């Protein structure tokens, strides 16, 4: 699904990664095309799978979940969470799982209210494999826009 993207598409992607709630009118002003053209381009980007969604970013600390951690997993084959992510459906503290090459099969990002809750979660994760955890102190670069090649 490698759609060719021109400068207008790139500008729209940059703007929407910066602020996903910009109106088509506002986007039109910024990229210097008409609003209907913006709407058409954005829908094309969504349909092509370049834009996969729009999300509000919530600060875990302000939301009362001040304990964020990354957990490296070495799963036991049949219970591997990368092949059965539904095993974590009842763990809302788990907010992201990425599967990796190498001896670490995945990294799990968790967001809990306390160290105690983190400990209980680690016990649950340990049922699927060896865990190694580190707490997140801060996020020096919380995000950067993905620029199309």
Partner DNA sequence: CGTGAAATACAATAAGC
Partner DNA sequence: GCTTATTGTATTTCACG
Contact partner at residue 25 from a copy of itself, DNA, none, CB < 5 to 8 Å by partner kind: DNA
- State yes or no: residue 99 binds a copy of itself (CB under 8 A): yes
x/- binding map, residues 1-20, to a copy of itself, per CB under 8 A?
xxx-x-------x--xxxxx
**Residue 84 — φ and ψ, nearest 5°?**
-130, 65
Helix (H) or strand (E) run with residue 107 in it: strand 106-112
Q: Among 70, 74, 122, 124, indicate the residue that binds a copy of itself (CB under 8 A).
A: 70
User: For residue 52, what are the CA distances in angstroms to 13, 43, 45, 120?
Assistant: 11, 11, 9, 33
Question: What's the CA gap between 28 and 18, in Å, rounded?
Answer: 15
- State yes or no: residue 102 binds a copy of itself (CB under 8 A): yes
Residue 55 is encoded by which pair of tokens? 């999300």
Q: Among 6, 32, 64, 78, indicate the residue that binds a copy of itself (CB under 8 A).
A: 64
- State yes or no: residue 24 binds DNA (CB under 7 A): yes
- Pick the closer one to a copy of itself by CB: 33 or 51: 51
């Amino acid at each position: 699904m490698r759609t060719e993207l021109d400068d207008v598409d790139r500008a729209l992607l940059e703007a929407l990664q910066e602020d996903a709630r910009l109106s088509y009118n506002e986007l039109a002003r910024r990229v210097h095309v008409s609003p209907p053209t913006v709407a058409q381009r954005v829908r094309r980007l969504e349909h092509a799978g370049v834009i996969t969604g729009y999300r509000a970013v919530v600060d875990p600390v302000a939301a009362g979940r001040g304990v964020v951690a990354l957990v490296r997993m070495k799963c036991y084959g049949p219970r591997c969470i990368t092949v059965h992510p539904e095993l974590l459906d009842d763990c809302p503290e788990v907010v992201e799982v990425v599967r990796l090459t190498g001896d670490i099969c995945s990294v799990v990002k968790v967001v809990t209210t306390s160290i105690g809750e983190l400990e209980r979660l680690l016990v649950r994760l340990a049922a699927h494999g060896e865990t190694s955890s580190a707490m997140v102190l801060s996020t020096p670069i919380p995000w950067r826009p993905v620029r199309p090649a």
